[in-house]
Structure 1
């Protein structure tokens, strides 16, 4: 049902145009009638013609101005002074002149019927013309003062205050609440419009400069408030609203919560994109240049109060939500989140709106209570935390206290302070020409939890003061230089502290006593850490004695009305700006009126607890985890379990993060004793073994061996004599490189190999034929083998059984006739196998024995992926032997033999994740399988076809509710053949409505559909909508890669930089279009083509194109698979992809000998190529294959393997 407010708002917007259009049409008809030959000579008609003409001009003038403003954002009225003045002038003159014409016509009718002949002469046309001109001149002259009083004031065309305003303004009972008018804007400041499908919209709202509800008028002086929202596309109208005050990171929040929350931000008055109320200069230090401006604008600046800003927020919320939340759905929540100074604004907002609560919950992050003077005593608070840090250091005997004399860090701190008084010329302070005041200021830069652990070590080094310590201190002094004191244009530190933040630092009532400058200077000079803001700025402000700040009934007051609104306060116990007594006092005051107020103290957390509470070995922060659980909990109950995971203070400097920070500020990763070179840089040779091991983790082990083994004996011993695990990656590697690595390194370190990745079938044969059973890969945990012939490797599985730690096995086989009975039997015998992936070529001649063969052992496999076609009964038989299975993925499940059982002799109680594609299996056949085995399932990815029962929403609801109660993710794709059925929009909408009930939406499961026509048939696809994270693109057989398609790909939501594999199955390709597409996909590593037809291509001209030259220079493609190709195509590929390492040609019809010789030649374009697979079924190839290969082996250092009757694998260099 449409609300009265919505009707009123729409009527206000649209009725204006309707009335003006009707008036325009009426005036045109009047003119047509009045200008007829019989009437136009009469004086009365002359008056009416003039009136109708003026009315017509006035109507169209209003329509043009309003239309350009509302719909084309061409707001010249509020930006051009001339148009502003003319508009105000005409809006008064034109209606008055038109009305005068009607009055004169009435006068003419009166005198024309008079009995007096002299009066009747006044009805002549001659007199009428002169009389009308006189009246018009009078109106134009008498209204001319509008040209003076109208002007642009604070971005709005309005008259000046005073008598002119009284004359021209219409009083209003309240400020109008308009409909939100969002427009697209960039997500980031660099102009980026979307990131991972996250979009942003903005709008500007006019608000009165002073919210005095008893005296608001249509021409009250106004300012603009900037509002912005971030949302995941498709979720903007269903997600919860989180308002961040002030604006902080929003994109990460929206992305992390998968669109369930949209983030709203607003720049408060005088800040950011909102109207400026500050000094128009960028000079910060010399702010006295602002004084004349401030005196001239004192009235406007005094309206920049927290109370007015709170009313701004109230109005913005009313616009976005609707006065009665009519713009929101019933289940949408609105949560306000304030951090630091933003908490002060939220308190004022709650105060002014306590009679009519707008929002559902409030989150305070590091709160500033209304009765604190935080800024005045900021340095005192800072010192509290500094001393608390050294107290904690005393309690950490092994990581911190042990470095100090008598294990007393606090005594060392006072020793450092007193050394300055004795003028010791051997002290670091004297040698580096610094003092404790400068160091106090610089140490305040790093007094936050992620860096403050450096401060005890810094004091320790200053007191010790050897050459290394002097280098560290010099580095610290250099990197903590304050930034240039230049602010943005329109920013003034004077206005910021004396006006915007006045309530936070200075007593404003006369009965309260202001602190003296001498007192504040004394605080700063006697602290160990000091910002010096108050002595430097406050005292200068005190000298000016201008501006002031008006107090009101809310100043230093807490709300008194009781409320049940859920509120959460997060505060760090090491908040350097607001020590713990402040939030505890705040909680005490608010808990008296609100039983639902929750206060959580965050251990080892600094200012702004949301971001200042990192956790051990986990992404994100504890503060955000608690806040998110509070927002999304049905009862607003936060999850506090992360509090014991917050990172401890790493005084010893052992963690990677501390070492990184130490390098930044100390020039070394050892914060206590490490040497540095003369340039203040740490020598690589001095790094600890733990850091060296972390560096090696980013390198292939043999790469590390080549780079570091000759650096010194220490690195050689680490790489050859230590127990360091080895990771071996032999995917794309030349023959010569493999031989060197094997002989120099791996041959003697097989017992240390932790992971082994091989894609070369010749290398597989070499390694496993050379390894004897008494030389086991005893520490091997991960084994990945590609292009293996499983029928030739039956002994290989027997060897794997002897490996006690093998937990991950990945196998890709190119054979079509693998004996699956043997493979399953061997796999189930591997004693430690947890993860298994089998990628086998599909085969239709699967023996029935695979469904009934009994194996004599149960497997420990927990994650099983079968990347090939599996028959239903085959899968059931496999599942008998994997009782610990947690994750299952089947590329294609097909029905073949027998009946589907309705009960099963086994259970899979640990199975939580399933990904499966069903071929020719009906819902009725697959339902018993789900009912019996998916009881604890949490994630289901399912692809189906043909049987439309799979898109029966009610059946899925019943099945999930009854048999899959723990399901969190449900991702379905169903493809159906529509035959000649006509599917209209109503039918599709009915389907979508059935999947849009509360059951689906509350789980955040959303779906869509696609209809398309292919091969003279209609098809439909119904599928889930999920955030896109693909890393490969596949083009179907009937897809033509056109220019339009390339443009669509470039503009799609898929981040093309993450694409590493492209498959093109189409036979109809334009290679120049493929080149153009690849230019926009910079990180593609693998390219698969069905064919490469160049019959109509000018090879030489193609090579000269800019796209060809650019792609050949920038692409990183190393692996190409092509189904069919000729010699000309091979030349093209080699020239275009000079970094090619492996080439696979599946159907080579001719020229095979020329192609092989060409590729084996050492030329510039094939310098990285070291392996080739070719296959041909031509009779010449079959007849001469062995002779050709023998000739190649004799002439080149090439290893050859002949898989099957038609293939050939070559490996060289």
Structure 2
């Protein structure tokens, strides 16, 4: 679930709190390890701590830090759990003074929450309060205690965790009362309601139809409810973009009731099902219940198993998916594999507008990751390769995988529609270990494949291998994995330019994705181009962020 927040959400209980020990010079002048840091950096440090930890560590350190933490522009975060040394009674006494400095208020201890509502309340003086999290026990908590939140002028996020059986009492309508208050909060964008249940009952919810929230865009419902209750809540949130925690069978019922209105279908994540959800299940749902569908972004997972992947590919090859001309991506990983379906234009190679235009077409992508950890023996990997060849993959990405070169060459040979290739690593030992038969097959594959776009990690052996494998490439991208020296980059570029004359004559664009892009490096690249006797009018060098791209006209 994506959540709007102004600062990083950290579990402070997991952060080891350290005491700052001042040291002294011979003049007994107090010096701290932080005293030379700017105010901005100090505030970044404070951002990882709650109010109590900040005051305990810095209030009496020296005058400068005392001023930093008491200034009205420094906003505070209150975090209290059952391990906190701060008592809520003391916190409430101190809160009456700096209310306008409270940015977030998180109570993870139900006992402390009960004490808070006995000693304190929220009101309009909390002008900067944006996030509230409360763990409460229903026996000691009334929904009306949340009415005070209506006076908060900037509350964006509210998270409630309820414990107890009263939540399931239909006579008290406890959950209904909570939602009715939530929907009246004028600026709330994110709402999360979780119920720690003590029984297996569904939780009914029927909110007053006259109440509607026009601000909530993200909603998290973490409890058991029937489809009518879900629809009742959703009918009051017309701006909702995200909702989560529902299994596929209930999700089907939900879509059946509202699917005729859906034009954009965006499921990016994992539904909490015990069984795999295969493409045919999504196909049936789309065909029956989404007649107005215009755009789709779907991600679903299956067990990494040869028969399961075979089934997924077979289903994705049906006329339904092909006729829609959606982009498809299959990711094979050790424990769990995923498939993606998207109607959105894929722009993986999008640094340059010309290259982006070349990518504006339907694509099928294959990612193979961490082959060394796959729970298969070599014969099973060999079973997988012909299965993958059943689908017209146009892009392949080998990520952190020591897939043997003979298997890799076999895979390339069986995917005649490949246009783009991304590869992380190949060793000199692998290249030298190819048999005579494999080398002959390699030569055949290199001549027949139609790969024009290649991306690799910075590795000279891999560069040489890919140049030999993909002689038709027009775009070559090299991604740096460390802070490479300018000399290493210069050597790589010179090597590629040399090979351009003999092995990759169609190359038009060389893109460098580096950790450090600077004017000195660009000057070095210009000198290289000049040394190759390429006139300035025949090439172009430009940079953007971490990218440098070299383009030249073909002779």
TM-score range, shorter chain: 0.3 to 0.5
Higher alpha-carbon Rg: 1
- Normalised by the length of structure 2, the TM-score is 0.46
TM-score after normalising by structure 1: 0.22
Structure with the larger RCO, 1 or 2 (CA within 8 Å, 6+ apart): 2
Greater share of helix = 1
